[in-house]
Amino acid sequence: MKSPLLWSVCALTYAFTMSVSAQTRSETFQLGSRTVKIPAPDGFTDVFSRLDRLTGRVLATEDPGNEALATHLPKSAIAQFETNQDRDLEFYTKVSISKDAKTVDITPEMYGRIQSSLDKDIGTLFGTGGKLRTQIGGITGKRLSELWGNETDVRIDQPLNLGVFDRGENVISSMMFLKYEMNNKKFSMLATLSFLSINQRLVFVYAYRTSPVKYVYSMSPGKKDIETLLDFTKKWTAAIVAAN
């Protein structure tokens, strides 16, 4: 069985290709014998499955070992994406769970080991050799090529690990900055990755800020973007824990 860290990092790196849809869905999910509630962040709405094109993209890019539960967009952006599903994403989220762990009761001891694994391994999964980056980029490109009917090339450059910024009894969150290229178009992404232990289930929660890179393509995330995403993630993960 894959490690929880690898499950979540695969989902993190696949997520940059997601588009959007707009549909109100239940915030409650049945995960084996447990239920978990995933409230949308303030000002956001779950847009997971209304548009066929989005659903196809999510299925094409999701790690086969994971099951996506929700993805959210700002309510103010919904009308634009309903008009054009292929717009570049700027601010969005994703929630998923490992299929293998969907019915596994996570004990405090297990969750403590998962937190230790995040501390130790998050900075090395995309090591200098870049084997995992190359593997994920290749799989994503292949699946999107099949979905869209044209050759899609995806390259992921080495991420910058910004470290763990929130830790508690039921949450551990880290931040990463990376750049990637898809069909010769360059993007930067600032992302948070959170492992939540809620109702004895391990849930992966992600938040993303992305932008196309037109002129300067550096490994320097903006201070304001970092602060915005840190605050957003802390408030949202706290709301999820409180809802359960």
Q: Are 170 and 241 in contact (CB under 8 A)?
A: yes
Note the pLDDT of residue 135: 57
Is pLDDT of 80 > 90?
A: no
Supply the pLDDT for residue 125.
57
Name the residue among 45, 37, 41, 43 with its Cα closest to residue 21. Answer: 45
Q: Which pLDDT does position 211 carry in this prediction? A: 83
> What phi and psi, each to the nearest 5 degrees, are found at residue 65?
-85, -5
Return the pLDDT at 185: 82
For residue 14, name the pLDDT band (cuts at 50, 70, 90). Answer: very low
User: Which of 14-28, 73-87, 132-146, 203-217 shows the lowest mean pLDDT across its residues?
Assistant: 14-28
Over the range 209-224, which residues count as b (16 or more CB within 10 Å of their CB) and which as e?
bbbeeeeeeeeebeee
